[in-house]
Chain A
Amino acid sequence: MTEAFRQLAERLPTSLWLLIVPPTVWAVHFLFCYILAAVICAKGGPLQSLDQVRLAITAATIVALLIVAAAAYVAWAQMRIEGDPPPYEESTDEDRHRFLATAALLLAALSFVAILYTAIPAFMFADCQ
């Protein structure tokens, strides 16, 4: 089962898109959090409670982290395609593929951390002051 899963991930025709999925998820999550809080606060005034915002941001954060984790899994599977060890600097299909997968995995790690950073304020503030 897991093996079949890994093979599926390995064969996904991802190319450059895999590279920008994790940071794009970060961007969408970031904008969601910011716009949601900004609109709620603009409409509700400084004493508006953020309880519901916190709930929504928690849900959005979990979804975002799951997508990034999935992208990381695909990248990890593709990174392990058979071939010579790093650095991936041959002019071959495999090396280009593994290079993009490595970069995508690194970006997924960065995006994961950045998404957590974005979520922190939701747990620090009770209202819109």
Chain B
Amino acid sequence: MSETGPELVIADQDNPAVRAAQEERLRATWAPPKGLFLKWSDVNNTAVGKWYTLTAFAMMLFAGVLALIMRAQLAVPDNDLVSASTFNQLFTLHGSMMMFLFAVPMFEAVAVLLLPQLLGARDLPFPRLSAFGYWSFLIGGVFVGGSIFFDAAPDGGWFMYPPLSTNPATAGIGADIWMLGLSFIEVSSIAAAVELIVGVLKCRPPGMRLNLMPLYAWYILVVAVMILFAFPPLIAGDILFELERLLDWPFFDASRGGDPLLWQHLFWIFGHPEVYIIFLPSIAIFAMVVPTFAQRHLLGYPWIVLAAVGTGFLSFGLWVHHMFATGLPKISLGFFSGASEAVAIPTAVQIFAFIATIWAGRLVWSTPMLYAAGSLVIFVIGGLTGVMVAVAPFDWQSHDTYFIVAHFHYVLIGGSLLPLFAGLYYYWPLVTGKKLSDELGRIAFWLMFVGFNIGFFPMHISGLMGMPRRVFTYPAELGIGTLNFLSTIGAFTFALGVAVVVIDLFLSPRREFAPRNPWNAGTLEWLAIPKTESQDWGVRSIPLIESRYPLWDQPGFVKNVDEGRYFLPDAEEGQRELMITTVLDAEPLQVARIGGPTFKPMLAAATLGGVFIFTTYHLYWLALISGAAALVAILWWLWTGTGIIPEKPAKDAGHGVVLPLYASGPSSSGWWAMFIAMTGDATAFAGLVFGYFYYWTIHPKFPPDSLPGLAGPGLSWPMIALALIVAGWALTIAARETNARGRVGLARLALAVAAAMTAAGGLAGLAGPWLTGLNPQLHIYPAIVWVLVIWIAAHAAIGMIMQLFTLARSFAGVMTPRHDGDVRNITVYHHFLALSALITFAVIGFFPRLA
């Protein structure tokens, strides 16, 4: 092997004219749409990622301003700058926006922007889904955030505890805006999770086995899986919550058998993993920054994977530590206290791995490193107070005081915000081609670091002295005036630091371009060339990976990539192409074609958003029309954009590797996406079933005595419904099998009958509670039965639409025995439908007899 590295010999690639022609074709294929209006139809991850990041950043600034108004109000005792009602809206919106509109979307935004680059991929597997996620986020975010200008913002605290927030007398339209606006954003988060999981598992470059994956990708994988299990319980909770607010079904109303604590469970099963969902992706940035500035491989790669996976699991065993003061049995608190202490172990492991790497390397003390070090200090302090509040007796003393406010701001600003600023300074040259100012960056850092500690450290003390959270003012006699004044000074100093960063960003367009790979990093994303149009196509050719840091370790790597000596150096057919590889060892499987610019995702997001927004204002007819429009938009998008039959069966990806252009079943990305999305869906369903059994545990007699409106749904209708849905499922499988064997006519017949069976099954499910006269407003029992059958009926309706869609695809000749992705994907859906129908109807049919 020579010093300049092995020449990957491909005769064509030696010819500059050939290379220029390839580049021309790639450029044309990946060119973003031009024009003031058309450019918003872009779906490429570089464009969507930028919009996403900027929007999330703007949301953070907005929510930060809300915090400053609060700090101004609290600066002196008995202040009257804002009213109590405005203050309630301020803290509710501050928390909700920082969590739902900044931290989580920012993770998705950064991942959409960086992940393809890190994996040497040209884009994510479903670029239009990313665009859909972005537009959903923008619409939902503006809807929720804008409510404060109409004095209509939610005001029940970011966790919206009932009965305060379910009672129309104490919570106005704001609670509905919170529920419905944020539910819409949760849907887009789950879409992003699906996209990122498939991206990490199936779109890695050849040779990048699991042991060579950038640690950022490991973290993203873990976090995306966490979203899949954390957000759905909240969606289940949102459904119950809105049914109570809009239709008076008593899920959280104790006088009719409900229980406000169920909401707390569902909220915190989401809410605690959420903390790690926003912490892990930020710490993931460290895993990229630290090796670069230590100029060496990260020490303890398997230890970091342990930390990421271990934290991901343990974070689901912590939720009750937010409920220590609710009077649960002490032994229950003990379990969660134990898990809360255990999670400190993996968290510390990764921090030690970073410290060891810094220690073992030759540290370059750059601006991103400064942010990384500073945030570690802050985060560790927050972690230590976390260990304190994980001890239940201590928590009883500090619960709902400013001690808790101090604790989670140390955790979130140290564990999420400042690492993001480290990432901002580190990755800005990757995205824009220009470095930010080291001078301004350092000034901003010190303003933030000092301001943060002046602002939040005194809160520990004011909290222990008895200052409760969420009060709009306090009496001078409490003796916490000085501490609060300090906090206010600190908060404004911190804000000044953020302002310096913003100024730095605005000055950026006037600066010189930085050289390529300005930090001398070793990972794939730094293949990006500053400011040429090549950015749009991602990498020039998809490399063969042999190291965790190919830019450092693989001789001649950059040159070989740039000269198109690896895979897919061309776009002969003018199609946007990705390489799909195997999960464990990244062996090439398929060349997948992905969608180009289109307005369809935006249209789908706008119409779906309409459903949520109109429902908030009780405009049910408009919501229904908007829902129908969303359905049409989504079907149009799917019909025109997915499962397209390629003009030839296979193509040469380079080096004699011939790969199919079409895949279906488990080797295709679409099948995985369906499987992953349905896992999330099943988790939401599990949340509702959990509700049923939860009510059983709290009632001595559940179901209640057989009074009119309370007895049902009987056994016969649930069993008929189950039989019909299972028949629809079996016929769908039969359609898949007959179609694969070329018996197209039989497959069509099976699909048509299956659709009828599935639809009838949904209706039969509803018939049970309907015909036995279960009245959901009377008591919790009929309400929870109704929710379960409505869930199944809605899923059966969607299942029927899928079956008819596939049938139509078969008649249109776009689904054939060989190109059968559609029927294979909907079969996955029907597996889940049949399973949830089995659980639902067995529970509502048999459990009343057992209990």
Is chain B a partner of chain A in the same complex? yes
Which residues of A pack against B, CB within 8 Å? Answer: 15-16, 19-20, 23-24, 26-27, 30, 33-34, 37-39, 41-43, 46, 50, 53, 87-91, 93, 95-96, 99-100, 102-103, 106-107, 110-111, 113-114, 117-118, 120-122, 124-125, 128-129
Find out whether the CB atom of A34 lies under 8 angstroms from the CB atom of B211: no
Find out whether the CB atom of A38 lies under 8 angstroms from the CB atom of B317: no
Given A15-B584, A89-B547, A122-B331, also A106-B302 (CB < 8 A): yes
Find out whether the CB atom of B548 lies under 8 angstroms from the CB atom of A89: yes
Find out whether the CB atom of B301 lies under 8 angstroms from the CB atom of A128: no
Separation of A128 and B328 alpha carbons in the complex (Å): 9
Find out whether the CB atom of B331 lies under 8 angstroms from the CB atom of A37: yes
A103 / chain B contacts, CB cutoff of 8 Å = 302, 305-306, 309
Given A27-B316, A39-B697, A99-B210, also A107-B338 (CB < 8 A): no
Find out whether the CB atom of A87 lies under 8 angstroms from the CB atom of B583: no
Query: What's the minimum C-beta distance from B262 to chain A, rounded to whole angstroms?
Result: 12
Find out whether the CB atom of A118 lies under 8 angstroms from the CB atom of B345: no
Name B337's closest neighbour in chain A (CB-CB): A121
**Cross-chain contact of B335 among A34, A39, A43, A89 (Cβ < 8 A):** A34
A38 / chain B contacts, CB cutoff of 8 Å = 328-329, 332, 697
**Cross-chain contact of A87 among B301, B317, B335, B698 (Cβ < 8 A):** B301
Whether B14 sits at the interface, judged by CB under 8 Å, is no
Whether B257 sits at the interface, judged by CB under 8 Å, is no
A125 / chain B contacts, CB cutoff of 8 Å = 329-331, 334
Find out whether the CB atom of B303 lies under 8 angstroms from the CB atom of A106: yes
Find out whether the CB atom of B331 lies under 8 angstroms from the CB atom of A102: no
B328 / chain A contacts, CB cutoff of 8 Å = 38
Find out whether the CB atom of A117 lies under 8 angstroms from the CB atom of B302: no
24 inter-chain pairs at a CB distance below 8 angstroms, sorted by A residue, are A15-B584, A26-B314, A30-B335, A34-B336, A37-B329, A38-B328, A38-B697, A88-B302, A89-B211, A91-B208, A91-B212, A93-B585, A96-B210, A99-B211, A100-B211, A103-B305, A103-B309, A110-B345, A113-B345, A114-B317, A114-B338, A121-B331, A122-B331, A124-B331
Find out whether the CB atom of A117 lies under 8 angstroms from the CB atom of B338: yes
Which residues of B pack against A, CB within 8 Å? Answer: 207-212, 297, 301-303, 305-306, 309-310, 313-314, 316-317, 328-339, 341-342, 345-346, 545-548, 583-585, 697-698
Query: What's the minimum C-beta distance from B638 to chain A, rounded to whole angstroms?
Result: 30
Find out whether the CB atom of A95 lies under 8 angstroms from the CB atom of B211: yes
Separation of A19 and B302 alpha carbons in the complex (Å): 11
Find out whether the CB atom of A128 lies under 8 angstroms from the CB atom of B329: yes
Separation of A102 and B212 alpha carbons in the complex (Å): 14
B698 / chain A contacts, CB cutoff of 8 Å = 42
**Cross-chain contact of A41 among B329, B335, B545, B585 (Cβ < 8 A):** B329
Separation of A38 and B333 alpha carbons in the complex (Å): 10
Find out whether the CB atom of A102 lies under 8 angstroms from the CB atom of B697: no
Instruction: Taking A106-B310, A125-B334, A128-B331 as given, write out 17 further A-B residue pairs in contact, using a Cβ cutoff of 8 Å, ordered by the A residue number.
Output: A15-B584, A24-B313, A30-B317, A37-B331, A38-B332, A38-B697, A42-B698, A50-B331, A87-B297, A99-B210, A99-B211, A99-B302, A106-B302, A117-B339, A117-B342, A121-B335, A128-B329
Separation of A90 and B314 alpha carbons in the complex (Å): 30
A27 / chain B contacts, CB cutoff of 8 Å = 313, 316-317
Tell me if A's interface is mostly helix, strand, loop or mixed: helix
A114 / chain B contacts, CB cutoff of 8 Å = 314, 317, 338-339, 342, 345
**Cross-chain contact of B310 among A15, A42, A110 (Cβ < 8 A):** A110
Query: What's the minimum C-beta distance from B21 to chain A, rounded to whole angstroms?
Result: 32
Given A37-B335, A43-B697, A124-B334, also A107-B584 (CB < 8 A): no
Separation of A125 and B334 alpha carbons in the complex (Å): 9
B338 / chain A contacts, CB cutoff of 8 Å = 114, 117-118, 120-121
Separation of A39 and B309 alpha carbons in the complex (Å): 30
In this complex, the member of B309, B339, B341, B545 whose beta carbon has the largest number of chain A beta carbons within 10 angstroms is: B309
Separation of A73 and B212 alpha carbons in the complex (Å): 24
B585 / chain A contacts, CB cutoff of 8 Å = 93, 96
Separation of A79 and B187 alpha carbons in the complex (Å): 40
Separation of A113 and B310 alpha carbons in the complex (Å): 12
Find out whether the CB atom of B313 lies under 8 angstroms from the CB atom of A26: yes
B345 / chain A contacts, CB cutoff of 8 Å = 110, 113-114
A88 / chain B contacts, CB cutoff of 8 Å = 211, 301-302
Query: What's the minimum C-beta distance from A70 to chain B, rounded to whole angstroms?
Result: 18
Find out whether the CB atom of A16 lies under 8 angstroms from the CB atom of B583: yes
**Cross-chain contact of A16 among B313, B330, B332, B584 (Cβ < 8 A):** B584
Find out whether the CB atom of B207 lies under 8 angstroms from the CB atom of A91: yes
Among all A-B residue pairs, the 8 with the closest Cβ atoms = A121-B334, A99-B211, A117-B338, A23-B313, A106-B306, A42-B697, A114-B342, A41-B329
A100 / chain B contacts, CB cutoff of 8 Å = 210-211
A19 / chain B contacts, CB cutoff of 8 Å = 309
Find out whether the CB atom of A91 lies under 8 angstroms from the CB atom of B209: yes
Separation of A2 and B175 alpha carbons in the complex (Å): 63
A102 / chain B contacts, CB cutoff of 8 Å = 302
Separation of A103 and B211 alpha carbons in the complex (Å): 10
Separation of A33 and B335 alpha carbons in the complex (Å): 8
B297 / chain A contacts, CB cutoff of 8 Å = 87, 89
A95 / chain B contacts, CB cutoff of 8 Å = 209, 211
A20 / chain B contacts, CB cutoff of 8 Å = 309, 313
Query: What's the minimum C-beta distance from A6 to chain B, rounded to whole angstroms?
Result: 21
Find out whether the CB atom of A89 lies under 8 angstroms from the CB atom of B341: no
A41 / chain B contacts, CB cutoff of 8 Å = 329, 331-332
A96 / chain B contacts, CB cutoff of 8 Å = 209-211, 584-585
Find out whether the CB atom of A91 lies under 8 angstroms from the CB atom of B545: yes
